């Protein structure tokens, strides 16, 4: 039984490492890829508030976790603050920042590359389950904002 758990954990770790190597998030090769999206990130204002949205029940766990772990920097409903960028922004659409980028950001932190807010520290207490719910919630917010 213990050997199976170890094998599963090892396989999961190997998959995570391979995904990091494959660069599913932004890499040095695509640091300027925001230009493809027609976005001058230095002049971008935070996304408009989406406070009129009623969050469907299936996204409430993500909203709760987002408020706990992310809103201090990324603002309520991901609209950004003076401490962190808006996640409800075209730069964070799935084709540019895949879901794995959010998992990696929480686990490892992020070097500043699109915005001038400084580096994002890793989120010490966020579990994989927390991040999964947060990503579902952020993707819902992005769809509601017409980002994708």
Residues 97-146 have pLDDT tens digits of: 999 999 999 999 999 998 999 999 999 999 999 999 999 999 999 999 99
What's the pLDDT tens digit per position in 37-89?
Answer: 444 454 445 455 455 689 999 999 999 999 999 999 999 999 999 999 999 99
DSSP classification of residue 44? P
How many independent structural domains does the chain possess? 1
Residue 10 belongs to a domain with what CATH number?
1.10.760.10
Give the model's confidence band at 33: pLDDT under 50 very low, under 70 low, under 90 confident, else very high. Answer: very low
Collapsed DSSP state (helix, strand, coil) of residue 74: helix
pTM of the model: 0.69
Q: CA-CA distance, 118 to 106, in Å (whole number)?
A: 15
Instruction: Decide: residue 95, CB within 10 A, 0-12 exposed, 13-18 middle, 19+ buried.
Output: exposed
Full residue range of the structural domain in which residue 130 is found: 2-144
Three-point CA angle 20, 126, 144, nearest 5°: 80
Give me the helix-helix angle, 128-144 and 99-108, nearest 10°.
130
Q: What share of the chain is helix, strand, coil (3-state, %, to 5)?
A: 55, 0, 45
């Amino acid at each position: 039984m213990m050997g199976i758990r170890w094998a599963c954990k090892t396989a999961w770790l190997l998959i995570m490492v391979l995904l990091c190597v494959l660069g599913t998030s932004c890499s040095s090769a695509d640091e300027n890829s925001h230009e493809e999206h027609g976005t001058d990130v230095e002049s971008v204002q935070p996304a408009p508030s989406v406070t009129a949205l009623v969050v469907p029940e299936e996204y409430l766990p993500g909203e709760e976790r987002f408020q706990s772990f992310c809103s201090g920097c990324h603002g309520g409903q991901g609209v950004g603050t003076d401490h962190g960028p808006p996640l409800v922004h075209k730069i964070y659409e799935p084709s540019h920042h895949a879901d794995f980028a959010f998992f990696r950001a929480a686990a490892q932190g992020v070097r500043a590359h699109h915005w001038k807010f400084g580096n994002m520290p890793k989120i010490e207490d966020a579990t994989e389950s927390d991040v999964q719910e947060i990503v579902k919630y952020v993707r819902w917010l992005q769809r509601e904002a017409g980002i994708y």
